[in-house]
Chains A and B, each alone.
Chain A
């Protein structure tokens, strides 16, 4: 086969492996969520389907497929059907630019980077496409013709706009240090010793990003789009069956993506600390390990902290996080432009 065909084959392989991994992780997270919550509450969690309940996600999937998909009376049917896909697709698309490993010899002697694609504007792409997942929530909530859904959608849109600012500004501080929007450059800048990681040179941005990540993925303690005690189930109150599952899938995929972004920007990506020429499988292992730390943090925080109040969330976002992020960006920019080594 010609080299071009090889390229296509490698690309096909990479895309399949990465998307399979993403969806598999998302499915695994639904089980992990129930297991971790159970363990924190002296329970066992699901343990009936398969060994230790490991096949539970499959059972859930089958159940979702066979349930009846209801459309409420008075709903905008076209939008109602589109919304779950709109919520799920953007968060799945964004995984494409995350560099998950160094160059790998897919074919002996022919090294290819282990990421679906590398863009000069990888971060811009990730943020812009990732920001679109809110449309699924808003349109779904509006099309449901239900007051609980509408309130959930309203809260989600206000919350996303507010915390996207903090998220982007904290990322920009890191971008200022590396001087590139290409995520692979961000990883390269953190190679070598562990103190090269941006978590040490940008601790404030690290904390702000972590908190804003919870708000962006609609996770506890900021899950105001759902908010069971007040809004029944928020934006997906009226959804059932596979449509509901698509919303859940979108949420979990967004969690996986933001956890990998967290790893890439702050924890050195796929670098193995103190070993610059680590073999590629160790690099991928390091990436997965670091990502799973943050995925666990998502679950851990959810089952520890109570939900905020909505006005507290807004006040926190605009009066605390935004000024902090701006100040951090300003200081970083000043330090970089005057050549001060921060770390």
Chain B
């Protein structure tokens, strides 16, 4: 059993009113202090390369998409958000996707696709906002997902830095 001994109140404290005035003065001072709320749409959240936003497809500097439609990300995706149809090209890299859809309503931003990709073709961008008026509009096709490599370069470097911790010098690279 715990006996809680309450503090003995002095006469002034028993009168309540001075203490109430003290409380009121505190809240009055708070009225003029700096507000800490972020005005979100106008002041967006700060992002950096660690931010794991929505996945985006890398477009190489030669203008072609880096994806070879191997299907690794499709398999890795725990939410079954990715759908890929492969096709052939005349270039040295013979395959590229004809269709690459990510259902953003299913995507859980886990980053498994980024880890699974053998060709550095899909990366988590810093884009986080996801709002539209229909479900269909939130199934992103290839055109919506394409980003130039330069836009994702920071993230790419970060992922390489991260993975280098586990990579032995003898490893093939």
Contact = CB atoms under 8 A, between A and B. Distances in A.
Interface residues of B, number: 16
B35 A303 contact: no
Contact of A300 (B24, B34, B36): B24
Contacts of B33: 42
B39 A300 contact: no
Contact of B27 (A43, A44, A207, A304): A304
A317 to B, nearest CB: 14
Given A36-B31, A207-B17, A304 B37 contact: no
A42 B27 contact: no
A301 interface: yes
A304 B35 CA distance: 18
A36 B24 CA distance: 13
A338 interface: no
B20 interface: yes
A17 interface: no
Interface of B: 17, 20, 23-24, 26-28, 30-37, 39
A40 interface: yes
Contacts of A304: 20, 23-24, 26-27
Nearest to B29: A40
Interface of A: 36, 39-44, 207, 300-301, 303-305
Contacts of A39: 30-32, 35
Given A304-B24, A305-B20, A40 B30 contact: yes
The interface centre, meaning the residue of A36, A39, A301, A304 with most chain B CB atoms within 10 A of its CB, is: A304
A47 B24 CA distance: 25
Nearest to A300: B24
The interface centre, meaning the residue of B35, B36, B39 with most chain A CB atoms within 10 A of its CB, is: B35
A207 B33 CA distance: 30
A322 B35 CA distance: 42
A42 B28 contact: no
B24 A42 contact: no
A39 B34 CA distance: 9
Given A300-B27, A300-B28, A42 B37 contact: yes
Contact of A42 (B17, B23, B36, B39): B36
B37 A44 contact: yes
Given A207-B17, A300-B24, A305-B23, A44 B31 contact: no
A16 B90 CA distance: 82
B20 A42 contact: no
Nearest to B28: A300
Contacts of B23: 304-305
Contacts of B39: 44
Contacts of A42: 30, 33-37
Given A39-B32, A42-B33, A207-B17, 11 more contacts: A39-B31, A41-B30, A42-B30, A42-B37, A43-B35, A43-B36, A44-B39, A303-B27, A304-B20, A304-B24, A305-B23
Contacts of A44: 35, 37, 39
A173 to B, nearest CB: 19
Contacts of B30: 39-42
B157 to A, nearest CB: 37
A304 B24 CA distance: 6
A41 B28 CA distance: 11
A321 to B, nearest CB: 12
Contacts of B35: 39, 42-44
Nearest to B17: A207
A43 B26 CA distance: 16
A65 B26 CA distance: 38
B128 to A, nearest CB: 21
Nearest to B30: A40
Contacts of A303: 27
A100 to B, nearest CB: 28
Contacts of A40: 27, 30-31
